[in-house]
Homo-oligomer: A and B are copies of this chain.
Amino acid sequence: MDLPKKAVTRNEVAQLAGVSPATVSYVVNNGPRPVAPATRQRVLQAIEQLGYQPNALARNLRLQRTSTLGLILPDTHNPYFAEVARGVEQIAFERGYTVMLCHSDYSLERELHYVHVLYAERAAGVIWFPATADSEPALRLADYGVPLVILDRVAPGTQAPCVLADNFRGGFLAAQHLLELGHTRIGCIARPLALHHSQERIRGFQAALRQAGLPPDDAPIVKGGYRLEDGRAAAFQLLELSPPPSAIFAYNDLMAIGALRAAHERGWHVPRELSIVGFDDIPQAAFTCPALTTVRQPKLDMGRRGAQLLLDLVEEQLSSAQAEVPLQVQLVIRESTAPANNK
């Protein structure tokens, strides 16, 4: 039943309908030339009868373009990325594109691997959620002439449009939220500050402290990974300080959850004795534990916006043909909305 059954081709359809292969194309593509209603009918019937399904490979080869989008991201295990993937696919579907899912698994090497694969497949464009601070993948894609949109990060030396969360504002809001709850000693779980967005979140965070008249240096920072387990470890460090913080701002929700876990293990009651705020918005987490408040970030929307931007780029490039379009840098800022205390 699933032996290498040979697919029916356009020629067979043409033969059955008694027309030329070209005519079949005109019917299938609804153009570029008109077809007499009677002929069209015969062709459609032949297609139906044979179960003809045009070969996209041949079509793409001939057209010198595909409708495939590459999506490179670290790992859908992190619900944040899964949500981004979902957003990308939604838009791709709506606009007739298809998505190739590429996990970089937080490795530059694999990002580069997929850059090559996607170019080999002549992807129409790529959406890249960088795993490291290295811009090489973007450079390579630019070199290949493949349109690119970068998510959640700026890649120095690149012209590619970015979709960014407003990291500064997110950090600011997180601190503000905790300050309003009466906390004065707040610990931070960050990533290495070399990372632009981590740095921004911390900057925003400290700005809020300063504005409240608190010395930012009072806020202990633990720099580290990005996984749940990293958050747990970082929280242990923070809780052992004297005095320990009464609140924690975590770089992402995964680590916030890790912190929550650490708190539980240490016998702290959240949120009575310790408040925790994560930067992202993981619905399950938000719903599961009323103690966990999050600064909401529209990550589904990030995927959607990224895909939209990319497809606009792709299609513009297509229509503008060889007209020398001036490069343009487009920067989209997505703002975090106010912190939501999930009652």
Contacts and interface: CB of A to CB of B under 8 A. Distances in A.
Interface of A: 1-5, 7, 51, 53-58, 60-61, 66, 68, 71, 75-77, 79, 82-83, 85-86, 89-90, 93, 98-103, 110, 116-117, 119-122, 141-148, 159, 228, 254, 257-258, 260-261, 264, 282-285, 287-290, 292, 300, 313, 317-318, 321-322, 324-325, 327
Q: How many copies does the complex hold?
A: 2
A4 B75 CA distance: 31
9 contacts: A3-B322, A53-B119, A53-B120, A57-B60, A76-B89, A85-B101, A98-B102, A254-B284, A257-B288
Contact of A117 (B1, B7, B98, B103): B98
A284 B287 contact: no
B89 A103 contact: yes
A328 to B, nearest CB: 11
A75 B86 contact: yes
Given A4-B322, A98-B100, 11 more contacts: A3-B325, A7-B122, A54-B120, A57-B57, A57-B121, A76-B76, A76-B83, A76-B86, A85-B101, A258-B287, A284-B285
A102 B88 CA distance: 11
Contacts of A318: 4
A89 B261 CA distance: 29
A192 B5 CA distance: 37
A187 B82 CA distance: 31
A51 B116 CA distance: 11
A89 B54 CA distance: 27
Given A57-B57, A145-B4, A289-B289, A284 B283 contact: no
Contact of A148 (B2, B76, B327): B2
